[in-house]
Structure 1
Amino acid sequence: MAAQETEKKSFIQKRRSSLMAAIFLMATSAIGPGFITQTATFTATMGAAFAFGILASIIIDFVVQQNIWRVVTVTRMRASDVANEALPGSGYLLAVLVIFGGLVFNVGNIAGAGLGLNAMLGLSPKWGGLISAMLAIYIFSSRRASTAIDRLIIILGLVMIGLTLYVAFVSQPPVGEALRQSVFPDSMNFAMITTIVGGTVGGYISYAGAHRLLDKGMTGVENIAAVSSAATKGILVVGLMRYVLFLAVLGVVASGVTLDISSQVANPASQAFQHAVGNYGVRIFGFIFWAAALTSVIGAAYTSVSFMTVFNQKMTERQRNIATVLFIAVSLVVYLLLGTAPAALLVFAGGFNGLILPIGLTIFVYVGWKRADLMSGYSYPRWLLWTGLITCALTWYMGALSVGAIFNFLKIV
């Protein structure tokens, strides 16, 4: 009896740990250096009205993640395998898009890690990027890589939220006005909402948490309630970080400070933290920026490589870790050769990420509507299918905007 009780407690603890790992992998992947910079820039531009954009992005993220996590869990297959079963060949296309977009954005993530260590410790950005990438490589090279990834991501995620909360408290933002404009904004900018959504749920980010649950064995209809709850909690973590960061910057903007967002070297988030907390603010910003970049390096590499299994179904966990190390190493070499993340290349990758979301979401909604055979007869919630359908239409529009980014890149090169 005691042995059964111990085994039950161990199972519950393991399941809770798996859910927490998936929540924070998705959340920290969505909070990268690009997200931080975009949030500060848009807050400086729109003020309290940007609260509506954040709320809209959270709602869209909720629908996307609920659909993807649910289908991956019930089918017990990775996203690319689900796509191939639903529409033969589409899984290979999805995999190529995710891997390529993740590789290019990882160059930006490593650059962001370098800038973070530069602000925090005064290190050269190149040395900071090198050290951060080597740390990520060390983690994936470890025999206990899976446990190390989970713990590091959870710890860094919690510290990021805590430090940002502190800056938000010190900057004394107009919280009441922000809450009002979350629902009744004085102005709306759809392009900014599109950018935030694409940067926080586009590309590999949509699948990070779902694939982590799959690797942890959290699959099947029997786990769907826990998985759905975890997806909701993941969005709440992302939403909390978005709102807190927005409030931290809003407090500075509302006090009458004008942030420089025009020059190419401007860093509005760093300026806001410095105005709020003084010179220590730059150090705090540096840590947050570095932590966001490092966790994004890990999330992008892990998720992108998980899509490689569609080309080799017999790929072992060790082989995946080796491929992940090589993935990070290639990103690092590109960064060191270029010295920075080239803007045109990141725009190009952003265009690709903008296409990945509607392609993947459309396939997953189709599986929910028509392919019950892939889900062991699971009765898919109709409200989720209808909201998924509406979100599909919206993301296809966003994808059309992304095509423009791709053409602009081709003109540049």
Structure 2
Amino acid sequence: MSSVTPSVESSAQSVNQSTSWQTKAILSVAFLMATTSVGPGFLTQTAVFTNMYQIDMAFPVFASMFITFGIVMNLWRIVGVSGLRIQDIANRVAPGLGYPIGILLALGAVAFNFGNVSGSALGIQVLTGVDTGWGALFTGIIGSLLFVIHNASKRMDQMARYLGLFMIVLIAYVAMTSLPPLMPTAIAAVAPSDYGNLLLPTLTIVGGAVGGYYTGAQRLVDIGLKGEANVADIKRAAWAGISIAVVIRILLFMAILGVLVTGVTLDAKNPAADAFRHGAGEVGYFIFGLVLFVASITSVVGNSYMAISLVKTLFPAIARNEKAWCVGFILVTSLGTVFMNMPILLLMLAGLVNSLILPIVLATVLVATKRKDIVGDYRHPMWLTLMGSAIVLVMGAASATNISNFIGKFFGA
């Protein structure tokens, strides 16, 4: 009897450790995706567009929930099951395709990092009052230091979990103190005054969030949450990430709209922070600046990791010096942000650029679902394939219109 007991205890301990690892992995990836996708770009884009479209902005927020589900469930399942990064899947689909896909996504990551650095600079301005140019320089230095810290990726995952909870509590507080009229908002979510006029904000806020979807997908491979045996955990991670992101998005929109319906006009230089000042006073304004800064710094580090992970398997020289390339990426985008010094425009532009790249990436992943040399015996649900295909067609067809609408709105053409 005594010889059996230690074996049973050891087996139970092993199962508990495995369960604990899977739970931590799921939460880490979910919160990393959520906080990166609902980062400074999404915060600012939602504030700017809600200021423009008022209650009709409920429709883009509502529609983006379904688009997010279609993207993440397709992307994460195929990346997770295959155990391959996005660019390597593309190379399996068509030899050489991974190079333009990886480079396109890396260029999209450059746009994201301009936005992330800009968001951090705006957060620093709220906290200290210093010019956004100096804030961008400070962001580059801090981001580089964070990246060279030993085990930075593990700490990044931990920070994402705590930051996500902090963001939900703060945004929920402001939303509860300035609730908009609920019934008209719910009606506008499905029946706005002009569907066609809302194409630009819908695609831009989707584009502003996809960096988080890519980062989460690449992270699945790095932490070992991959293979057909882990499909259930990959689905749970995707569901958790989508749920967290959706809760934050809805609360954020409600908080901003609740302020706007009182007749307030938001400060164009930092609309999201101004909404929180009107909704929760100077304390809310300060706390939002802190959240924006920490969220942006986390996104700067996470996005730099993602950008380099997208090309390191394609170029051995980058893989050999991964950390140096990541630091260089942070410094170059920080300096670029200083020279351009247009934080709000850069945050909006990041969403546009990535909404144009997304259909190409998602189409490639959908083709991979039919390739046994990529996914083995795994059978991808047909309804997910159809949903993903619809997103590719709509976003691809809308690209030209989206560009012209963006130029008209933000360049006065």
Compute the TM-score of the two structures, normalised by the length of structure 2: 0.89
Q: Residue 231 of structure 1: CA displacement? A: 0.9
Please, which moves more after superposition, 381-390 or 265-274?
A: 265-274
Match runs of 1:14-413 below 5 Å: 14-188=21-195, 189-201=198-210, 204-260=211-267, 265-312=268-315, 319-341=321-343, 343=345, 350-368=351-369, 370-401=370-401
Per-residue Cα deviation, 1:322-358 (whole angstroms, up to 9, x for no partner): 3222211222232344445594x77775554233201
Q: How far 1:218 moved relative to its partner? A: 0.5
Q: Aligned-pair distance for 1:101? A: 2.0
Specify the code of the residue in structure 1 equivalent to 2:48: T
Contact 1:34 1:199 in 2 (8 A): yes
CA-CA distance at 1:407 after TM superposition: 9.7
Note the C-alpha offset of 1:314.
8.7
- Deviation of 1:31 after TM superposition, in Å, equals 1.7
- AA partner of residue 392 (structure 2): C
Bigger shift: residues 374-383 or 36-45: 36-45
Partner Cα distance (2:156, 2:349) in 1 = 29
Secondary structure of the 1:324 match is helix
CA contact (8 A) 1:160 1:291 kept: no
Paired letter, 2:207: G
Counting matched residue pairs gives 401
CA deviations 1:369-394 (Å, max 9, x no partner) are x3133211111111111111111111
Q: Which runs of 4+ in 1 moved over 6 A?
A: 345-348, 405-408
CA-CA distance at 1:166 after TM superposition: 0.8
Give me the whole-angstrom Cα distance separating, in 1, the residues matched to 2:347 and 2:273: 21
Cα 1:257–1:341 shift into 2, 3 Å = closer
Deviates more, 1:52-61 or 1:249-258: 249-258
Q: Measured at CA, do residues 143 and 386 of structure 1 come closer, stay the same or move farther in structure 2, by a change above 3 Å?
A: same
CA contact (8 A) 1:69 1:210 kept: yes
Amino acid at match of 1:366: V
Change in 2 beyond 3 A, CA 1:158/1:18: same
- Partners of 1:27 and 1:237 within 8 A in 2: yes
Kindly tell me: are residues 352 and 319 of structure 1, through their superposed partners in 2, closer, same or farther at Cα, counting changes over 3 Å?
same
Identity of aligned residues (%): 35
C-alpha displacement of 1:4: 2.4
**Greater displacement, 170-179 / 214-223:** 170-179
Summarize the Cα distance change of 1:222–1:44 in structure 2 as closer, same or farther, 3 Å threshold.
Answer: same
The superposition leaves residues 2-49 of structure 1 with CA deviations (integer Å, 9 ceiling, x where unpaired) of 222222222211111111121122112212222112211222233332
Deviations 1:244-264 (A, max 9, x none): 11111111122232335xxxx
User: How far, CA to CA, are the matches of 1:154 and 1:383 in structure 2?
Assistant: 31
Amino acid at match of 1:303: M
Distance 1:94 1:163 in 2: 37
CA separation in 1, counterparts of 2:316 and 2:275? Answer: 48
Deviates more, 1:85-94 or 1:176-185: 176-185
Change (3 A) 1:243 1:309: same
CA distance in 2, matches of 1:324, 1:14: 27
Q: 1:9 to 1:78 in 2, by over 3 A?
A: same
What SS is found at the alignment partner of 1:39?
helix
Cα shift at 1:83: 0.5
Contact 1:208 1:303 in 2 (8 A): yes
Partner secondary structure for residue 208 of structure 2: helix
One-letter amino acid of the counterpart of residue 176, structure 1:
M
Aligned equivalents of 1:272 and 1:406: distance in 2? 23
> Matched residues in 2 for 1:232 and 1:162: separation?
20
CA distance in 1 between partners of 2:352 and 2:136 (Å):
25
> Structure 1-normalised TM-score?
0.89
